[in-house]
Structure 1
Amino acid sequence: MRRFARTLATAALAAAVVAGTAGWASADTQTAVTGPPPGTASWLAAAVPGQPLPDPARASPREVARFFAGLDEERARDLVRSHPLVVGSLDGAPLPLRYEANRLAVLATGEARFASLAAPGRQILAFDPRGRGQVAEVFGDLERAAHVAVIVPGADNDAAGHDRKRAPHTGPAGMARSLRSAAGDATAVIAWTGYTTPVGVGLDAADGRLARAGAARLARFTQGLDAVGAPDPVLLCHSYGSVVCGLAARHTDATDIVAFGSPGMQAATVSDLHTRARVWAARGPSDWISNVPNVEFAGLGHGADPTSAAFGARRIPAADVAGHTGYLTPGTQSLKAFASIAAGGTR
């Protein structure tokens, strides 16, 4: 009887994922982009007098930071010009060097879909043109910020659509701008589309394969922030991004993890996340994610509802949130709470 019930739950999950997201694009199976950045082979074949270059696949962010600390400015900038894709993706490298390297890397692709990322004033902290593209962008002064928040988005996000025109205050860049405005100048916000997200709704969105690959990248990214002296971050994780955060939680030094519009975090309770971070959760009354059963069976589903009492997260008010992407709309209770958490409040 129990096996039959689980089979029904799995069938319900698949049906609800499709029915609850009517109007979304059909799902396409994605291949996760992982491993060191393009250009790594030529980087490793190069040399700086007296020392080898750090291996992007093996060197820790702290080792990368120590390497660059030992370079003079001229040699560091030579590496930026010669190997922009590598330097721009090296967690632990100095922030100004990464911004400049990624500007050059975007320009070098010659692709119109990425061109806006090289516009003056943009602070691109990571860029990878492989696949649909991955990107991380900083809003605010990360070098001097008292607080740091990282937006981890869900499905249908990539480097090309990172800042595309859509409903205001949605999408990675839109959410980050809205949060930065609400949290104030002492808080830097990073829009981190640093993993291969699901496209549409299908098996990629219903299982954890892409989330597991993304969790490893998110953990290393936060270690890179620590290596350059940035404050421990707050992770704000939307939709499938909350699955990524759930899997990465034990490997980050986040002070807070906020799951909103979440299908689950691959955990039954907060204690299953094995994190010292405070864990928060929000779900709006008209968010279609509530139609997705919170089950985990045969590789499908992401576990308990983070807003349930049994899960044990701190609840964030979201009664005035519209739909699945309205959590950072100015004036909402959820944005006010997110901003307070990002700025180190609500202790």
Structure 2
Amino acid sequence: MNHSGLQFQSLFEEATSLLASLIETPSLSKEEEKTGDLIAAFFEKKNIKTQRKGNNIWAYNRHFDSKKPSILLNSHHDTVKPNAGYTKDPYKAIIEDGRIYGLGSNDAGGCLVSLIGVFCYFFEKEIPYNLILAATAEEEISGKNGIESILNELPELELAIVGEPTLMQMAVAEKGLLVIDAILKGKAGHAAREEGENAIYKALDDLNKIRDFQFEKISPYLGKTKVTATLIQAGSQHNVIPDICTYTLDVRVTDSYTLEEAFAELKNILHAELTPRSLRLNSSKVPEGHKILEVAKTLGLESYGSPTLSDQALIPYPSVKIGPGDSARSHTADEFIYLKEIQEGIQGYIALLEKYFHLP
């Protein structure tokens, strides 16, 4: 094995060992303090200074220079709760048949430790960019104390690489999320008499419109913006005409719309009083002509539009989502990632950055 091969092997072994420690340290969203400590300790051992805000840990490469453009390497260390279908201990890193099992192994532990390995690989090197590694919290709940809380501490970014399991394919666009609460008011009355104004029937008119509704604009990468009714509530007892009906809409918004535009288009056709829960989780798309698109093409990486949400939604700079592991395994019982995927993730990220550094 040559010097380069030994270095890759060492990065891979360190990454796998760190992943095992992360799996065995519970880190549900908002409870990531101990995994934050682990990540900080990993860097401290390597004499790499870190900064911390809440449960977010970040570090800059040795030769950081404010005159150079900056690239962010970001992934998260929080997890969802383990579901009831687990047959293995979700908090035990079990290595079997070339896989490492455990909660958060695939989403997004494998991506995080691969990016940390890559950051360490470039840490001492003279490169034409600044590299920033951020291991962030609350991604699974799009929380305000995650990446959003540290963006104003970071320099302006030319690019963010967000580590999520994509089989090392590159998501160059991602749908945003708009959750809307709707309320319709009627008049209460006795069900046995011709009284009142039934709020459920009013809601039915809206729901029928939603079922058949098509947004006008279609994105070349992400297809249609989609609205789905997901919750409904009305009534207090069987013999009373309900005077209030509430429902909730889940709207997956493409780069063809801002969240405000999608909201306005729905408001135009529905009778209910609509209130958006948040206008934070925007869709994203790499601008045409950005260097990362040329890199993907040169490396033969498959580019696609992602229907699932990540911290990309909160990063106001050009970003791509790419990482080892498979999105289909996320949040499943007996979650795992192949060890080989971590190895390929480290090599893939290094190849991506080296190509990016050397393109004009």
Instruction: Tell me which interval the TM-score lies in, with the shorter structure as reference length.
Output: 0.3 to 0.5
The answer to which structure has the higher strand fraction is: 2
Which of the pair has the greater relative contact order for Cα pairs under 8 Å at 6+ separation? 2
- Which of the pair has more CA radius of gyration? 2
**Bigger proportion of residues as helix:** 1
Report the TM-score, using the length of structure 2 for normalisation: 0.35
Q: TM-score under structure 1 normalisation?
A: 0.36
